[in-house]
Each structure stands twice: as C-alpha cells, then as structure tokens.
Amino acid sequence: MDTFGTLSRADELRNWPADEAGARAVQDRLRAHVRLDEAGPEPGFAGTVAGVDVAYDDERGVVAAAAVALDARTLAVVDEATAVGPVSFPYVPGLLAFREIPTVLAALDRLGHTPGLVVCDGYGLAHPRRFGLASHLGVLTGLPTLGVAKNPFVFRYEAPGPERGATSPLVDDTAAGPEEVGRALRTQRGVKPVFVSVGHRVDLDRACAHTLRLAATYRLPETTRAADALCRRALADA
C-alpha cells in the first residue's frame, strides 16, 4: 500500500472531503506525490492492464464502478469486478474524482490480482490543478495510471493529422506560458481524437503508445469499452 507522509490510503478514505474547499485542499496536498520520473511499463508487457469506469443513477444517488483486466499482449479479458455505493460528493467540474474514487477502489480491490497499468476514463495531469482522476487514483494505489478522455476539458489543441497514431499537444495557456498537459491522439482514421494525459508513474509517450495499442479497432481503448459496459450492467442490476 502506498502512503503519503503520515496518512495511508485507508486514512484518506476515512477523511474523504464532503465539500469543495476540502476536496481542493486534498488535491493540493496529494499532487506532490504524483511521480513523473518513470517511463512506465512497455506496451504489450507481460501482465494485465485494467480499465475503470463508473455509471450513475442520480435519482437514487447510486454509483456503480467496474474494473476490467485485459491481458496486455492479447487484449483478452481475464478478470472483472464491480462495486456499487452511494454518491457521496456533489457534482463539481474538476472534482469528479471525489464522486468516483471510493467505489472505483472497491472494484479494483475485488480483482483477483494487481494490474500493471490502470487506464481511466478521464484526466490525469490534463486538469486545472494537475490532479485529475488518473493522478488521484495512481497516488492512492501506487499503480501506473493514465487518463484517456473523450473531450479536451478546458484546454486547446490543433487537430492532429487524419492518420491513425497522429498526435498534437493539448495545451494549457498559463500565466507562465503554454504548457503541454497531454496529447490529442487519433486512434482511428477519420474519427475524432481522444485526449491522453499522464496519471502516475508513466510518461506521455508510453501513455499514448498504450492507448493506441488498446484502441486497435475502435476510437476508445478496449479497457474503457469493457469497463463502461460492465458498470452499466452493474448499475442496472443494482
């Protein structure tokens, strides 16, 4: 289990914030624990890559999370798990991790083994405070993580070339100047790009390479597609 100073993951969950100010303070405190000095596992490594996703029933205040582990070489599903819990944090842009992570962690813990990489349907460093869902989950688990989002959030980019594998920088225009926080990646010719960002313990080149390998047939990675379908089934069953 990864630790953060004097607090463990269990302590973080016990002290989960209930309001926007508390959540921002947690992001500011844990952001320093994001590790950007590792390349991460190579695409096609011997092991599993997990996708995580959530689905909501806002009328009942319920969230269902799914974790699906794929063989990193063959992309065959080898394990899956779900968890259902209450929505315990309000909807605030930039703070969605606080609605999702407790249930996502429960689903990950139910997998039969520890994945070598986790792919989130969301953002990592491509976040106004550089601490999106993928970074938060990575710090809490200690696992290499990356985010693959369907839209660029608040950042700008130029359309990448039309061919599969083309990229362009995802840019935040900060007071200090333009900063690359991720990349727009064309996973299939003629379809909209996805937006890849580093979460924890993986670099941006590897994050894009993993995304491209996982999106062999469709726009979205197979990890995301499998987790999305499973969490929707879990929510319906709940």
Q: Does 1 have pLDDT greater than 60? A: no
- Residue 42 CB burial class (10 angstroms; 0-12, 13-18, ≥19): exposed
Instruction: Answer whether 95's CB lies under 8 Å from 89's CB.
Output: yes
Cα dihedral across residues 158, 159, 163, 164: positive or negative: positive
Residue 215 confidence (pLDDT): 98
Alpha-carbon gap, residue 120 to 134, rounded angstroms: 6
Place 8 in a pLDDT band, splitting at 50, 70 and 90: confident
Give tens-digit pLDDT for 160-213.
999 999 999 999 999 999 999 999 999 999 999 999 999 999 999 999 999 999
The H-or-E segment that residue 225 falls in is: helix 222-237
pTM metric for this prediction: 0.94
Tokens representing 45 are 């490594």
pLDDT in tens, 205-237: 999 999 999 999 999 999 999 999 999 999 999
Fold of 44-237: archaeoglobus fulgidus dsm 4304 fold (3.30.2170)
Give the pLDDT score at 58.
Answer: 87
Torsion, Cα of 53, 219, 123, 66 (10° steps): 10
Average pLDDT over residues 11-23: 94
Would you state the pLDDT for residue 238?
87
pLDDT digits (tens, 9 = 90+) for 46-82: 999 999 999 999 889 999 999 999 999 999 999 999 9
For the segment 69-128, what is each residue's pLDDT rounded down to a tens digit?
999 999 999 999 999 999 989 999 999 999 999 999 999 999 998 999 999 999 999 999
pLDDT band at residue 3, thresholds of 50, 70 and 90?
Answer: very low
Cα distance between residue 223 and residue 182, in whole Å: 19
pLDDT at res. 7: 56
Mean pLDDT across the chain: 95
The ranges assigned to domains in the chain are: 44-237
